[in-house]
Structures are given as C-alpha cells and as structure tokens.
C-alpha cells in the first residue's frame, strides 16, 4: 500500500530528491495545515464544540492516536504484529504514576522515563521476533499482555489496588479539567504525529519498509534485521509509554483494569480500519472506531428502555449486533482501510476534471 | 505424590478442553490462513443453542445434541457466507479484523436472545468419579478427554485420507492455484467454517457442563490460542498435544507456586519453546525465497 | 456502489459527531425534575450483576414517581429522571459518561462498584456530586462524597467470615486447639485486594489461614482443594465470582469433600444457584448484606423484600429473580431518602449535589430501608452503611439464614 499519494498535485515538479520528499508541497497545503492546526487548538474556545463531553472524547481520541501511531510504525511499516499494546501503555502509565507519587516528580519529568521504561520492556518482548514471523509473533505480544498484567497484579501491591496520581502542572497552572487538559493532549498528539510522519523519511524508516516487504531481501541488502525489528518494537512501545503517562495524569487515577486485552485488540482494529502504513489512516481509524463505539454508549440505554419484552441486557446486545454489523459492512466495502479511500479522493480532486 | 498425581490429572483434563477449542482455530487457519478471534464466541453461541434445546425446551439429551450439531454447522456456514466470502482475495489482516467484529455481533446475538444473565449448567455425561490408586478422576473430564482425542483422530484421518480434506489443505496453500485446478475454494471454505462451528459448539457444550452457560465462556477461546500456536497452526494433532502441554504446565505451576502463576508461566515456556521451533511442534515450516 | 456505501458511512459518522453536542442541549432540565445518573458496565465482564443493580434502583425510583407522585419534602416535590450510561468496563468511558450525565443536570449518581468506577473519584469530588454506591470499591472508601449501602470494602469479606467462624469455634470450646481455615481464590483482579495484608490479620486473630489460587478458565479445582484439605482446613472461603465457584463446587462434589464452603460477596448465592443448579449448590454457604430475593418464600419477608418482589414481577415478568436487584433498590431508597430530607431545607430549584449532601445524605440517621438491611446512619468519616452481614445457606434452591446479623470488620486499604 502506498503511503504517499498516487499523484503529485498538478503543476508541481520535483526537480530534486529533497523536493520530492517534502511532506507539505504546495502553498495551499501550507495554508490548510496551518488553518487546521489553529482550528484544532481553538476548539475549546468555540461555543458549539466546547462541551466537556466532546472535549473528553477528543482527548481520548488524541491519546489513542498516539498509541495507534506507535502500533502503525511496528505493524504497518515494519510488518510485525503486536496484540499486547495496552500492556505497554500500562507500563508507561504505572512508571509515570509511581515516579509522580513516590518521588514527587512532575509530569514533564515523568513522561520521558515512562516512554523509555516501556521501550526497554518492549524490546525484551521483541526479541522473539528474530525467529517468529507473522501470526506466530502475535503469541509473544499476547504473552506480554498476560505476563505484565500478572506482575502488576501480584507483585506490586500499589498497582493492584490502583492509586491516585497528581494532575499535570506548569507553574501554577493546573491541567485538571478537560478544557485545560485538551491542550496538553493535542500538543503531544501533534508532536508525536509529526515524529511518526518524519520517521518514514529517515534511514531506519526505509529499513522498516524493506523488512515488511521482504525480510530476506532486506537482509541480503545489508539491513541488520534484528536491530531494526527491535528498534521498531522500541519505537512502538515508546509511543505506548508516553500515551500511558498522559492517560494516568489525565484520569488522575492508575489502575490495572484500564489496560485490558480487549483494548489491545481494539488498537489493532483501529490501525487496520484506518489503513496499515498510513499516518492519516491511523487518525481516521481512531476517529471512526471511537465514534462507532460511542454510539453504543449513548444509544444503548435509550433503546433498552423502549424494548421491555427483551431479556435484561438485550438492548446493549442489539446495539452490539448493529455496531459489529456496520463495521463488518465497512470492511467488506473498504477492505484496504480508510487511508486507501483518502488517497483515491485526493487523486480524484487532483486529476479533476481529467480523471478517468 | 498423591498431590502430584492429582495435579497432573487435572492438568490433562483441562488441557483436553483447550485442545478441543484449539482445533477450531486450526481448522480455520488451515483453510484460510486466518486466525479466528471469534472462535470463543462461536463456542458461546453453540453452547447457548444447545441450552435452548436441552434446558429451555427440555428435550431428550440425544435429540437436543442431534438438533444442535446441524444448527452449529449452519452457524459456521452462515458466518462464512455473509462475512468472509466477500473478502476472498483481500488483505489477510482485513479478514482477521472481520473476525474481531464478528465476535461483537455474536456476543450481541447471544445477549439479545438469552440475556446477559448466566444460564444453568447442563451435564451431558453421567456424574461420577473413577479411582486410580489415590487419584480421583471425574467421569466428566474423562469423557472430555476422550472426546478431544476422538475429534482429533477424525480430523487427522479427514485431512490425510479424504478427497475433501486434501483439497482443504490445498486451499490453504493458495486460492488461485486451487481455483485453477478446478476445486471450488468457496465450497471448501464454507465446509471448513461449518466444521469449525461444530468443533466450537462441542467445546461450548463441554464447558457449559462445568462452568455453566454464561458470556464468560468466550474467554476460554483466548486461553486456547497458545495451544493452537505451540502445536503449530496447521495441525490438529498439534492442537491437542499443545492443549495438553499447556494444561499441564498451568496446573503444575499454579499447584506448586500459587499466585495464579500458571497462565503467565505457560506463556513464558511457550515463548522460549517457540524461539527454538518457530512454527510450533507440528506446524509447516515455510521455505521462503526472495 | 462502493463509493455510495462509503459516502453513506461517512455521512452517518459525521451525523453522529455533529449530533453529539446537540443532543446535550435537547435534554433541558424541566421544572421540579432531578436527574439521577447511573454509570455501570452494562456490557463487559460484569454486565450480569451491573444490569440488575441498575434495574433495581431505576425501578424503585420510577415506582416512587408513579405511586407517590415523586418525592416530597416540606419545601416542595420533585420527580426523578433516571439516566444511565454504559461504561463498558472501561475507566475513560466511565469518565466520559460522568461528563455527559453532568451536562444533563445530574445531581447524584449511583453505580455498582468495580475498578473502572473507582476512577471517577476525582470527578465527583471536583463536581461536588455525591455517589450512592451498590458496592464499595477501594477509592470510594476514601471519599467524603461516597455513600455506601453494601459491604465495608472488599478487604472485609474474608475478615468478617473469619471473625464469625472464630466466634462459633470459641463457643464450641475451641476444638482442635487452633482454628485452621483456608480460601480458594481465582486470579481475578480484585482477589489480591480482598486478601490484602491478611497475614497480619490472621496473626492478630491467632488462627491458621491457607490460600490457594485457581486460574480463571480452569475446569478442575481439585488439586487446590486437596491441598487445603491436607492442611486440615475446617472451612473454606471461595473468593471467586460465580463461574469459578461452580468449578470449585463441581470438584468438591467429585472428590467427596465434606468441608463446608462459603461464597464471598463478589457473587451472590442466587447467581451460583442459577449457574450450578439447586442440586450442586445444596449446603453451600454465602454472605449477604441485605435480604436476598432468593430467600425461601416460606420464611416470610420484610416489607422491603415484598416490595422488591412486586417490582420484579411488574418490570421483569417471568424472569428469574436476581439478588443484586435488592442491592439496586437499596441504593434507590437511600437516594430517595436523601432527596426527601434535603427538600425539607431547600426548594427543588436549589437542590444540587452540594445541598443533597449537606441537608440530605449527611443527615440520614437510623434509616431502616424497610427492613432490607440493618439501619443505616451516615456520620462524618463513616459512609460505609449498614456494616452488618448475615450468613445464609442453600436449601433446595433457596437460601435461608444460618446466622444473625453480625457486625463486619472495618479494615480499610490504606490510600497510599
């Protein structure tokens, strides 16, 4: 799957390699990106959008985007499956939370150690990828989920019970309401998106793609597969750790049950629905799935009240059927993910009126 | 010694159930290279269908089994026809994702018709105990063990010696090749999902006998995944042996170490084993070329 | 075709995103109607108990609306609007739900405790919206804004049980010299909390206590039971939710174990009977903090239980009664009593979370809950609730009491 668009914008000629690799190629794109960035950060001030409920959803989307970007680097670019991502989110979250309450470190000092701890543990669980391939690798990451959760449950009393974590502060400014936290979340989301987008233009990024497309060929070309696979694992889990740190400081509460296998599977789903190997796709995927899930939460209880003849809990059951059905239909009609469609739309716009 | 014997027996019995569920994963992987995440929910739904005949309508045991198994086959076929058929030839990961969504739908269907509240357990085997020296085995788990072995043998025979089984193995190798050899990929896939539905349902009925029929049954599907992996995703005998191995490790570790260390320990052992045998014990080793 | 389908999907999603903030403005607060919120996991691993709990408080409050025309105090009358939000056992979802319900004007909320709802602690303290809970998690024990009607924290289940058995054992003249007890636990996440720092408690009580764990999906618990038997345990406490308990019962039956087993409060005896059938569960003991629905009808019922049975018949005709329903009704009763007391002091327009706490919930003294549990009083630093437990045993598919109401231990898991 191409991760750049099929056609360059009309009238743009790349006369050097440097120009060809630019992310933002035209003036219109510059204007659009700056306007959308301003809009993103202005949302809490716009009357129609600034309800805490919507802001909370957006914060959730932002944090999930960070998690899924990491996953997309590993799965989408490097081709290694990971169905234990939320365990690494947990490692980051607990590291950050423990540093915060035991050593009194503020969030800004915790977030990098959280990411690094998570990356180190991620690298350990990445070691089997030397030998394991494809679906078989899913087993080790599934194992990571189960083993890490078990350690947190039985060997660290504090994490088993859950503990409260301080909010993020800068000087006297406390980010404890959705409206304030929104800026922190969006800052990190934009930064991490920027890093992920640029990563693919570096040497390691190209090595990842080579490994995904054919690892034997990549090895023959002199790429140290083991090193780059581990690097991909570390980047993936670093993203997870940073997101975990954000998550616990956002919830001001750290507990094991916020990081389940179900979540891990949903992260994979988001990446696949969005489109493997596409940064925009990841963002679309997260938004799409979050909106779909939100539908259950909002409509479920309403429906249940209207249908008293069904057994208790049937209302949510009905909604699950509908949501699952919509998602399956979506995949049947859009099996290559939202990013593919996005590229088609872009191509259509660029070629218009000469598209055929 | 008495304790050790008991623990080994318990582990083997547990393992047999894992093996039976893992066979479901293997069947689907063998024909379509898809890891079916909805296996646990197929098991759940199959169990609930059986409950409706036996517990709901109070039919005779054999009659309800006789009615349930075709229903289960039909369930598998329907799932394949509606959700997976349109995706033939599409990226593999999309097909795997569809099975995740499918698990949502199946859970929804189960709670829509049977509610979220657990239903009473129904034992299909006579209750009793068998004494082997100082170790006591429940007849129920003995039957479960036997059933897993029988299903395994039938499947091995089926894949090795029948025409249909051979073409199923072929389909797993590549859809285009089989298509060009005049074998209908669609028909093969349909039958495979049907059989997987039956295998899942058998597991559901067995588990319902001891755990009761409740939404948590689907969890067993996840516990059985490692069994399928360790045995090799392509081999029914591997699935059963993998199930037994995992059951044994789990039982011994949680018996002697406590602290629920069984499941994590089995994963650690598995990861180490897989480092030396990356395709499991009986899986097909892929020879890769550039 | 594909493009059409795609644009349809896009339109639906865009519609949802646009409609969400709108829907908040639709729910304008009518006069003299107060909003009670519920955030429970209606789907997910605990859906069975949570839906029942939610249904209980909802049915009771709507019953007040219908039969009594709402809740009346000296300064006015209000009707209840009951809104629920499915947290799907996810902490961030619970927080979203809280924000949404708050925008809809919620003044008090209720839930059936689980770890994901503990995460709401900061939110309700910040928003000054009291919580009336069907079972106390860990965090809500620490909060001044949480009011319980259930057990005094998960860590007291085994402790109260030990105190009960020790008392009986001392009455019988201390047979055997030392009391030996055991627990068989699953590896569910709440179990380590329920056995929190048991060693020091056991030492304090001067007894012996053994712990064995079974993995969640296992179908055979006999090795662990055998170890407990060999250790000489007089009674065994089952720290598990209903499916695990049924596995334990099956294994105990197969190995002819004649040690009495007691279910912990994480599952009700009614759940275990529903799952395992009356035959298997005969003689199984359990604890309740209220009078359960599965009480033998021949034994008579308190007015509260009679009402609960009526409401169940009306709202869930033909379905099997569930014990957690009573738990929900208790939450409903406390909310209603709090609102009634608060309305003596403030007018319905001024009734908010803070007023409800100050004039209502904080002033509840010796509230009898129609006999469903021991009278409830809330004093500063003690919002636990009835703090009494009663042990029951299964006879022919129903439960009957085998002990009087006993005070529970009041151990609290330290905050840090």
- Percentage above 90 pLDDT, chain B: 16
Q: How far is C343 from chain B (nearest CA, A)?
A: 38
CATH number of the B2-276 domain: 1.10.3470
What's the average model confidence in pLDDT over B29-50?
88
For residue C26, pLDDT beyond 50? no
The helix or strand, by DSSP H or E, that contains position C184, with its residue range, turns out to be strand C180-186
Contact A250, A182 (CB under 8 A): no
CB of A30 within 8 Å of a chain C CB? The answer is no
Buried b (16+ CB within 10 A) or exposed e, B33-45: bbbbbbbbbbbbb
For residue A100, pLDDT beyond 90? yes
Residue B224 to residue B173: CA distance in whole angstroms = 24
Residue C360 to residue C362: CA distance in whole angstroms = 6
More confident residue, B161 or C118: B161
Please report whether residue C262 resides in a domain. Answer: yes
Of B3, B7, B223, the CB nearest to C217: B223
What's the average model confidence in pLDDT over A133-154?
87
Q: What pLDDT score was predicted for residue C274?
A: 86
What's the average model confidence in pLDDT over C14-40?
61
For residue A288, pLDDT beyond 60? yes
Buried b (16+ CB within 10 A) or exposed e, A94-119: bbbbbbbbeeebebeebbebbbbbbb
Of C88, C103, C121, the CB nearest to A297: C88
Question: Same domain, yes or no, for C131 and C38?
Answer: yes
- φ, ψ dihedrals at C390, nearest 5°: -135, 140
Quick: pLDDT tens for C189-238. Answer: 778 888 888 889 999 999 999 988 887 777 788 888 888 998 999 999 99
How many CB pairs (< 8 A) connect B and C? 122
For residue A92, pLDDT beyond 90? yes
Please report whether residue C45 resides in a domain. Answer: yes
Q: What pLDDT score was predicted for residue C23?
A: 45
Contact C359, C342 (CB under 8 A): yes
CB of A294 within 8 Å of a chain C CB? The answer is yes
β-strands C388-395, C285-288 pairing: antiparallel
Q: How confident is the model at residue C126 (pLDDT cuts 50, 70, 90)?
A: confident
Question: Same domain, yes or no, for C166 and C248?
Answer: yes
Chains that touch C (3 or more CB pairs under 8 A): A, B
Nearest to A237 by CA among A103, A75, A345: A75
Quick: pLDDT tens for C315-334. Answer: 888 788 889 899 899 999 99
Question: Same domain, yes or no, for C395 and C247?
Answer: yes
Nearest to A223 by CA among A238, A234, A209: A209
Q: What pLDDT score was predicted for residue A343?
A: 84
For residue A191, pLDDT beyond 90? yes
Q: What pLDDT score was predicted for residue C7?
A: 60
- Mean pLDDT across chain C, nearest whole number? 84
CB of C226 within 8 Å of a chain B CB? The answer is yes
Contact A184, A245 (CB under 8 A): no
Cβ contact (<8 Å) for C47 and B111? Answer: yes
More confident residue, C1 or A208: A208
β-strands C388-395, C406-407 pairing: antiparallel
β-strands C235-239, C146-148 pairing: unpaired
**Domain extents in chain B:** 2-276
- Mean pLDDT across chain B, nearest whole number? 84
Cβ contact (<8 Å) for B111 and A269? Answer: no
For residue A331, pLDDT beyond 70? yes
Nearest residue on chain B to A268, judged by CA atoms? B97
What is the domain extent for residue C267? 156-298+389-407
Q: How confident is the model at residue A313 (pLDDT cuts 50, 70, 90)?
A: low
Q: Is the dihedral of CA C352, C357, C359, C364 positive or negative?
A: positive
More confident residue, C371 or B137: C371
- Give the least confident one: A258-267, B87-96, C400-409: B87-96
- Give the least confident one: A95-109, A195-209, A342-356, C17-31: C17-31
Q: What pLDDT score was predicted for residue A207?
A: 93
Give the CATH number, domain containing residue C105. 3.40.50.2300
Q: How confident is the model at residue C22 (pLDDT cuts 50, 70, 90)?
A: very low
Question: Same domain, yes or no, for C79 and C106?
Answer: yes
For residue C288, list its beta bridge partners. Answer: C390
For residue A285, pLDDT beyond 90? yes
> From the candidates B17, B39, B132, B216, which should be mutated to test the interface with C, based on the most C CB atoms within 10 A?
B216
Residue whose entry in the numeric block shows the structure tokens 């570790």: B253
Q: How far is C247 from chain B (nearest CA, A)?
A: 6
Please report whether residue C224 resides in a domain. Answer: yes
Cβ contact (<8 Å) for A131 and B229? Answer: no
Nearest to A189 by CA among A26, A62, A310: A62
Quick: pLDDT tens for A120-133. Answer: 999 999 998 888 88
Q: How confident is the model at residue C300 (pLDDT cuts 50, 70, 90)?
A: confident
Q: How far is A179 from chain C (nearest CA, A)?
A: 12
Quick: pLDDT tens for A208-248. Answer: 999 988 888 999 999 999 999 999 999 999 999 999 999 99
Residue A180 CB: number of other CB atoms within 10 A? Answer: 15
Report, in this order, helix, strand and coil percent for chain A, each rounded to 5: 75, 5, 25
Reduced to 3 states, what is the DSSP secondary structure of residue B69?
helix
**Domain extents in chain A:** 43-274, 275-356
Question: Same domain, yes or no, for C214 and C284?
Answer: yes
Q: How confident is the model at residue B71 (pLDDT cuts 50, 70, 90)?
A: very high
Domain count for chain C, please give it. 2
For residue A356, pLDDT beyond 60? no
Q: How confident is the model at residue C282 (pLDDT cuts 50, 70, 90)?
A: very high
Q: What pLDDT score was predicted for residue B77?
A: 94
For residue C21, pLDDT beyond 50? no
> From the candidates B87, B97, B224, B228, which should be mutated to test the interface with A, based on the most A CB atoms within 10 A?
B97
What's the average model confidence in pLDDT over B62-89?
90
Question: Same domain, yes or no, for C293 and C327?
Answer: no
Quick: pLDDT tens for C342-389. Answer: 999 999 888 999 999 999 999 999 998 898 988 999 988 788 888 888
Please report whether residue C98 resides in a domain. Answer: yes
- Give the least confident one: A200-204, A262-266, B47-51, B119-123: B119-123
Contact B171, B32 (CB under 8 A): yes
- Give the least confident one: A194-208, C122-136, C248-262: C122-136
């Amino acid at each position: 799957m191409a991760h750049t668009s099929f056609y360059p914008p009309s009238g743009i000629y790349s006369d050097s390699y440097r120009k060809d690799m630019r992310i933002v190629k035209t003036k219109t794109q510059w204007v659009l990106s700056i306007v959308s960035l301003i809009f993103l950060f202005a949302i809490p001030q716009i009357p129609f959008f600034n309800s805490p409920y919507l802001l909370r959803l957006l914060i959730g989307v932002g944090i999930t985007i960070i998690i899924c970007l990491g996953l997309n680097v590993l799965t989408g670019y490097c081709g290694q499956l990971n169905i234990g991502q939320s365990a690494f989110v947990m490692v980051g979250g607990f590291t950050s939370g423990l540093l915060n309450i035991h050593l009194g470190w503020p969030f800004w000092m915790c977030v990098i150690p959280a990411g690094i701890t998570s990356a180190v543990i991620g690298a350990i669980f990445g070691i089997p990828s030397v030998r394991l391939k494809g679906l078989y690798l899913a087993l080790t990451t599934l194992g990571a989920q189960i083993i890490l959760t078990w350690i947190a449950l039985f060997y660290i009393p504090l994490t088993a019970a859950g503990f409260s974590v301080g909010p993020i502060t800068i000087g006297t400014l406390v980010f404890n309401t959705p409206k304030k936290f929104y800026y922190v979340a969006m800052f990190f989301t934009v930064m991490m998106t920027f890093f992920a987008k640029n990563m693919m233009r570096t040497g390691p990024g190209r090595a990842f793609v080579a490994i995904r497309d054919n690892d034997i060929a990549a090895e023959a070309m002199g790429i140290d597969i083991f090193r780059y696979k581990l690097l991909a694992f570390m980047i993936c889990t670093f993203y997870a750790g940073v997101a975990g740190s954000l998550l616990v400081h956002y919830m001001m509460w750290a507990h094991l049950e916020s990081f389940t296998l179900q979540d891990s599977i949903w992260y994979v789903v988001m990446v696949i629905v969005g489109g493997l190997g596409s940064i925009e796709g990841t963002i679309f995927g997260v938004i799409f799935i979050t909106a779909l899930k939100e539908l259950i939460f909002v409509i479920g209880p309403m429906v249940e009240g209207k249908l008293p003849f069904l057994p208790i809990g049937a209302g949510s059951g009905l909604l699950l059927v509908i949501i699952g059905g919509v998602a399956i239909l979506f995949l049947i009609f859009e099996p290559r993910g939202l990013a593919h469609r996005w590229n088609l739309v872009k191509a259509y716009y660029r070629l218009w009126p000469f598209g055929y | 010694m008495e304790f050790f014997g008991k623990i080994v027996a318990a582990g083997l019995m547990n393992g047999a159930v894992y093996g039976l569920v893992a066979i479901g994963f293997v069947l689907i992987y063998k024909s379509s290279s898809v890891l079916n995440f909805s296996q646990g929910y197929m098991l759940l739904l199959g169990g609930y269908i059986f409950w409706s005949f036996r517990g709901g309508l109070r039919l005779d045991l054999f009659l309800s089994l006789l009615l349930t198994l075709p229903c289960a086959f039909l369930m598998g076929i329907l799932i394949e026809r509606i959700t997976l058929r349109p995706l033939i030839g599409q990226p593999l990961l999309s097909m795997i994702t569809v099975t995740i969504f499918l698990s949502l739908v199946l859970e929804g269907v189960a709670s829509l018709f049977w509610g979220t509240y657990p239903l009473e357990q129904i034992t299909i085997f006579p209750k009793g105990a068998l004494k082997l020296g100082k170790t006591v085995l429940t007849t129920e788990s003995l039957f479960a063990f036997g059933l897993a072995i029988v299903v395994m043998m039938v499947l091995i025979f089926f894949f090795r010696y029948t025409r249909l089984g051979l073409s199923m193995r072929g389909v797993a190798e590549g859809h285009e090749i089989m298509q060009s050899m005049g074998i209908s990929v669609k028909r093969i896939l349909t039958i495979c999902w049907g059989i997987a539905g039956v295998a899942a349902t058998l597991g559901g009925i067995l588990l319902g006998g001891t755990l009761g029929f409740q939404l948590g049954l689907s969890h067993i599907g996840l516990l059985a995944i490692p069994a399928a992996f360790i045995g090799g995703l392509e081999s029914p005998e591997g699935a059963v042996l993998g199930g037994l191995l995992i059951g044994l490790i789990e039982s011994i570790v949680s018996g002697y170490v406590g602290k629920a260390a069984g499941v994590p320990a089995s994963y650690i052992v598995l990861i180490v084993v897989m480092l030396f045998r990356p395709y499991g014990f009986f899986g097909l080793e892929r020879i890769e070329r550039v | 075709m594909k493009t059409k389908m795609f644009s349809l999907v896009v339109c639906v999603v865009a519609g949802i995103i646009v409609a969400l903030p709108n829907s908040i403005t639709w729910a304008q607060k009518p006069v003299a109607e107060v909003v009670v919120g519920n955030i429970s996991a209606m789907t997910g691993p605990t859906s069975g108990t949570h839906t029942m709990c939610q249904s209980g408080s909802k049915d009771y409050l709507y019953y007040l609306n219908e039969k009594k025309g709402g809740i009346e105090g000296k300064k006015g009358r209000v009707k209840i609007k009951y809104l629920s939000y499915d947290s799907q056992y996810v902490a961030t979802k619970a927080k979203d739900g809280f924000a949404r319900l708050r925008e809809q004007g919620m003044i008090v909320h209720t839930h059936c405790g689980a770890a994901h709802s503990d995460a709401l602690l900061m939110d309700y303290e910040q928003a000054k919206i009291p919580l009336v809970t069907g079972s106390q998690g860990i965090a809500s024990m620490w909060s001044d804004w949480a009011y319980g009607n259930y057990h005094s924290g998960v860590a007291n289940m085994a402790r109260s049980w030990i105190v009960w058995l020790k008392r009986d054992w001392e009455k019988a003249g201390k047979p055997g010299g030392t009391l030996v007890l055991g627990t068989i636990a699953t590896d569910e996440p709440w179990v380590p909390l329920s056995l929190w720092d048991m060693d020091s408690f056991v030492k304090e009580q001067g007894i012996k206590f053994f712990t064995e764990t079974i993995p969640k999906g296992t179908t055979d618990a006999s090795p662990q039971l055998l170890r407990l038997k060999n250790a000489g345990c007089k009674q065994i406490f089952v720290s598990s939710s209903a499916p695990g308990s049924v596995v334990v019962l099956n294994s105990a039956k197969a190995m002819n174990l004649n040690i009495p087993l007691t279910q912990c409060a994480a599952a009700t005896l009614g759940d275990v009977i529903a799952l395992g059938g009356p035959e298997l569960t005969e003689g199984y003991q359990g604890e309740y903090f209220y009078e359960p629905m599965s009480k033998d009808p021949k034994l008579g019922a308190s007015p509260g239980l009679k009402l609960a049975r009526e409401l169940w018949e009306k709202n869930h005709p033909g379905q099997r009664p569930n014990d957690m329903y009573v738990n929900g009704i208790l939450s409903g009763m406390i909310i209603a009593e709090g609102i009634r007391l608060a309305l003596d002091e403030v007018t319905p327009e001024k009734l908010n979370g803070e007023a409800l706490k100050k004039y209502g919930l904080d002033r509840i003294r010796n509230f009898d809950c129609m006999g469903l549990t021991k009278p409830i009083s809330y004093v500063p630093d003690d919002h636990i609730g009835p703090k009494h437990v009663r042990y029951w045993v299964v006879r022919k598919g129903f439960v009957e009491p085998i002990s009087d109401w006993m005070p529970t231990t009041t151990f609290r898991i330290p905050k840090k």
